[in-house]
């Protein structure tokens, strides 16, 4: 037959379990901590209990949760780490019982003075979560002049662990919220930068290219190389501005799909023709394979051309001399399938999930060697998604990469994303 002590322990366990459930169901931290100190007082048969949290700025402990009538007077009180029971518990990360406070110099008497309480005995435990001590749970004045026991410390330690986790959860939530706000602000700044840069550079860049091209036709051959260099680098800058403009249009919702009957085979042929000179200059074999079909689709031919061009440009950039790049056009279960295959340097597995992110570049040493702003693949992705398609990459370091996109053969209406494809 169960004894009274056994029944009491079972009751304590049930109540501790109920408090533990509150860790996920309590409406807010303050309510949960009030439950903690109420149970700490009752289960240890104490007059009251309190939770103190460490403040790294003041390097003191401050009352986070106390009985309601002491809340206002204790809020401004700082409890030092030296010369207080709570401070010793915090510093040594070890539970502590003081049966007779008046005979112990460690008691911080300021708390008694401001609350007009008379502390006789104290039992306290550190609040530790993931190895970090963040505060202290104390119970004061065991009733009927009884002594605190190891069982009292066990109860306080259990409640303290729950309180510590709750406090840590709130801290983590605040950090996540701050991080999200910072990311949102960075995203806004990035968007503003893209919009301003693409707008402000377009006019002067057009003038530079126009005048340089005009001069190239009339100047002597001795200046031809210098003008060719100007035109070449201005053209590269023009491509960057066009990519920035594409990103800005998609983010602002200005991008529109202008559907016409276009041939994916013809687009692949045009892209190969466009980059053939660059491929030959790098001693790279650039080909396309479309079989005997034209693969007609209702789509915006210019945007599909941009997507395919950026994939080919990326493949040529990361393929060594003597390598090959090939475009393959076909069908796959109700979709038109376009694959750009190279036998270049490949992409590290860890970087594959991010290669379609704006401004993402694979490793700093590759950035220095191969250049680029990390916009081409992001633009390609957005162009395909505007058509209701999807794009992905497969790669093996040292073996090459394969970029694939699918376009639905039939769509009821053009895709108009309500949310920017660059915002998660």
Residues 146 and 247 both lie in one domain: no
Q: Does 362 have pLDDT greater than 70?
A: no
Query: Beta 132-142 vs 122-129: how paired, if at all?
Result: antiparallel
Dump pLDDT digits (tens) for 251-300. Answer: 555 567 778 899 999 999 999 999 999 999 999 999 999 988 999 999 98
Residues 385 and 341 both lie in one domain: yes
Residues 384 and 295 both lie in one domain: yes
Domain boundary among 229, 252, 275: 252
Alpha carbon 423 to its chain's center: 11
* CATH number of the domain bearing residue 157: 3.30.450.40
The count of other CB atoms within 10 Å of the CB of residue 320 is 12
In a domain, 419, yes or no: no
Token readout for 114 is: 């401001």
Burial profile 14-24: b = 16 or more Cβ within 10 angstroms, e = fewer:
eebeebeebbe
Tally of structural domains, the chain:
3
Residues 305 and 390 both lie in one domain: yes
What is the maximum span of the chain, computed from C-alpha positions, in angstroms? 112
Q: Does 15 have pLDDT greater than 60?
A: yes
Residues 200 and 312 both lie in one domain: no
In a domain, 367, yes or no: yes
Q: Does 418 have pLDDT greater than 60?
A: no
For the ranges 304-308, 322-326, 336-340, 414-418, which has the lowest average pLDDT?
Answer: 414-418
pTM: 0.53
In a domain, 220, yes or no: yes
Higher per-residue pLDDT: 320 or 186: 320
In a domain, 387, yes or no: yes
At 25 the pLDDT is 65
Q: Which residues are paired to 318 by β-bridges?
A: none
Residues 165 and 295 both lie in one domain: no
* CATH number of the domain bearing residue 392: 3.30.565.10
In a domain, 391, yes or no: yes
- pLDDT over 90 for what percent of the chain? 49
Domain boundary among 220, 252, 284: 252
Residues 165 and 27 both lie in one domain: yes
Measured distance CA(28)–CA(124) in Å, rounded: 24
Residues 201 and 160 both lie in one domain: no
Q: List the domain range (segments joined by +) for residue 234.
A: 179-252
In a domain, 293, yes or no: yes
Q: Does 423 have pLDDT greater than 60?
A: no
In a domain, 138, yes or no: yes
Answer for the pair 84, 62: CB distance below 8 angstroms, yes or no: no
Measured distance CA(8)–CA(15) in Å, rounded: 11
At 225 the pLDDT is 85
In a domain, 424, yes or no: no
Q: Does 378 have pLDDT greater than 60?
A: yes
Average pLDDT, the chain: 85
Residues 345 and 363 both lie in one domain: yes
Residues 109 and 224 both lie in one domain: no
Residues 248 and 301 both lie in one domain: no
Domain boundary among 252, 268, 296: 252
Q: How confident is the model at residue 223 (pLDDT cuts 50, 70, 90)?
A: confident
For the ranges 175-179, 238-242, 256-260, 384-388, which has the lowest average pLDDT?
Answer: 238-242
Dump pLDDT digits (tens) for 333-348. Answer: 889 999 999 999 999 9
Residues 146 and 191 both lie in one domain: no
At 249 the pLDDT is 61
């Amino acid at each position: 037959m169960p004894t009274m002590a056994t029944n009491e322990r079972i009751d304590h366990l049930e109540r501790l379990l109920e408090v533990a459930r509150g860790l996920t169901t309590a409406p807010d931290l303050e309510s949960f901590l009030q439950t903690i100190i109420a149970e700490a007082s009752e289960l240890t048969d104490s007059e009251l209990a309190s939770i103190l949290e460490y403040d790294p700025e003041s390097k003191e402990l401050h009352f986070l949760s106390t009985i309601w009538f002491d809340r206002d007077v204790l809020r401004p009180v700082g409890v030092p780490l030296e010369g207080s029971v709570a401070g010793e518990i915090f510093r040594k990360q070890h539970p502590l019982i003081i049966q007779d406070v008046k005979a112990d110099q460690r008691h911080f008497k300021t708390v008694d003075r401001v609350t007009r309480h008379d502390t006789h005995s104290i039992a306290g435990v550190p609040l530790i979560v993931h190895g970090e001590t963040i505060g202290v749970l104390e119970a004061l004045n065991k009733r009927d002049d009884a002594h605190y026991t190891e069982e009292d410390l066990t109860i306080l330690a259990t409640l303290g662990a729950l309180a510590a986790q709750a406090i840590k959860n709130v801290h983590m939530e605040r950090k996540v919220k701050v991080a999200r706000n910072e990311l949102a602000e960075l995203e806004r700044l990035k968007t503003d930068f893209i919009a301003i840069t693409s707008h402000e550079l377009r006019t002067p860049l057009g003038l530079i290219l126009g005048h340089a091209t005009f001069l190239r036709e009339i100047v002597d051959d001795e200046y031809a190389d210098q003008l060719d260099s100007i035109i070449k680098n201005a053209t590269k800058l023009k491509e960057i501005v066009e990519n920035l403009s594409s990103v800005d249009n998609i983010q602002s919702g200005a991008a529109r799909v202008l559907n016409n009957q276009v041939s994916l085979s013809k687009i692949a042929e045009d892209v190969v023709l466009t980059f053939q000179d660059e491929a030959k200059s790098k001693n790279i074999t650039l080909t396309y394979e479309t079989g005997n079909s034209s693969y007609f689709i209702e789509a915006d031919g210019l945007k599909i051309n941009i997507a395919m061009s950026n994939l080919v440009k990326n493949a040529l950039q990361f393929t060594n001399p003597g390598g090959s790049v090939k475009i393959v056009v076909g069908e796959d279960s109700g979709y038109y399938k376009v694959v750009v295959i190279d036998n270049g340097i490949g992409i590290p597995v860890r970087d594959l999930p991010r290669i379609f992110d704006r401004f993402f570049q694979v490793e700093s040493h590759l950035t220095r060697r191969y250049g680029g702003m990390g916009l081409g693949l992001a633009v390609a992705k957005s162009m395909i998604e505007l058509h209701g398609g999807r794009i992905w990459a497969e790669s093996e370091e040292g073996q090459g990469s394969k970029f694939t996109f699918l376009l639905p053969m039939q769509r009821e209406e053009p895709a108009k994303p309500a949310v920017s494809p660059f915002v998660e």
